[in-house]
C-alpha cells in the first residue's frame, strides 16, 4: 500500500476499530467519515478550509479509538468535526448524501401542506382533518418529485457523498 495521507488515515482508523463497538462504527458513520477524508484530500490543494480539515481529520484518525471508544465529550468532539466537514463539503463543494434532497423536500412538503390544509378548519369544520391530510399528501408527493430530481442531478454530477 502506498504511503499517502489518505492511506495513513484509513490504516490508523482500521487499526483502532477493534476498540470501538460495531454499532458505534455504524452510528458515527465511519465509512462516510473516510469518504469525506478522501474528498478533502482532493480539494486541499486549492481550498484552505479543506487543508485545515485535513489536519483535524489526521488528529482524529490518530486517536480514533479514543474518540469513538472513549467518553462522551470525545464523541461529541468527533460529531462536531464530522458535522463541520460535512457542512463545508455541502456548502462549498456541492457534495450531498444520497437522498439528501428527497428527505429535505419531503419535510418541506409536509410543512407547506399543513398551511393550506389548516384553512379547512375554518372552511369545512366537519371534515377538516380529511382535507388537511389530502393537502399534506399532495404537497409531499410533489415535493418528493423535486427532491428525487435534484438527487439525480447530484448523482449524475458524481457529487454523492
Ligand atoms: Zn474545501
User: How is 103-154 classified by DSSP, letter by letter?
Assistant: HHHHHHHHHHHHHHHHHHHHH-GGGHHHHHHHHHHHHHHHHHHHHHHHHHHH
Report the first-to-last Cα separation within the chain, whole angstroms.
24
Q: How far, in Å, from the CA of 94 to the mean position of ligand 1?
A: 10
Q: Cell triple for residue 137? A: 399528501
Q: Residues with Cβ within 5 Å of ion ligand 1?
A: 43, 47, 49-50, 92
Expressed in angstroms and rounded, the spacing between residue 55 Cα and the centre of ligand 1 is 13
Q: How far is the CA of 93 from the centre of ligand 1 (A)?
A: 6
Residue 1 pLDDT grade (very low, low, confident, very high; cuts 50, 70, 90): low
Cα of 89 vs centre of ligand 1, distance in Å, is 6
User: Contact at 8 Å (CB) between 134 and 117?
Assistant: yes
Mean pLDDT, residues 113-121 taken together: 91
The residue behind cell 393537502 is: 135
Could you tell me the pLDDT band of residue 40, with boundaries at 50, 70 and 90?
very high
Query: If you ran DSSP here, which 8-state letter would residue 157 be given?
Result: T
Mean pLDDT of 9-23: 92
Q: Answer yes or no: are the C-beta atoms of 77 and 118 closer than 8 Å.
A: no
Distances (CA, A) of 7 to 31, 50, 75: 14, 17, 23
Predicted local distance difference test score (pLDDT) of residue 71: 87
Instruction: Give the model's pLDDT for residue 125.
Output: 87
Torsion over CA: 48, 161, 27, 109 (sign): positive
Residue 12 CA to ligand 1 centre (angstroms):
23
Amino acid at each position: 500500500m502506498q504511503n499517502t495521507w489518505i492511506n495513513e488515515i484509513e490504516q490508523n482508523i482500521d487499526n483502532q476499530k477493534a476498540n470501538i463497538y460495531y454499532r458505534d462504527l455504524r452510528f458515527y458513520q465511519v465509512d462516510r467519515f473516510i469518504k469525506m477524508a478522501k474528498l478533502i484530500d482532493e480539494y486541499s490543494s486549492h481550498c484552505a478550509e479543506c487543508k485545515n480539515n485535513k489536519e483535524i481529520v489526521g488528529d482524529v484518525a490518530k486517536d480514533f479509538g479514543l474518540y469513538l471508544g472513549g467518553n462522551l465529550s470525545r464523541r461529541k468532539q468527533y460529531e462536531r468535526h464530522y458535522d463541520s466537514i460535512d457542512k463545508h463539503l455541502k456548502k462549498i463543494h456541492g457534495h450531498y448524501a444520497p437522498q439528501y434532497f428527497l428527505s429535505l423536500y419531503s419535510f418541506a412538503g409536509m410543512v407547506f401542506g399543513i398551511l393550506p390544509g389548516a384553512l379547512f378548519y375554518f372552511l369545512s369544520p366537519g371534515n377538516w382533518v380529511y382535507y388537511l391530510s389530502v393537502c399534506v399528501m399532495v404537497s409531499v408527493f410533489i415535493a418528493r418529485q423535486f427532491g428525487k430530481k435534484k438527487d439525480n442531478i447530484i448523482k449524475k454530477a458524481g457529487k454523492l457523498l
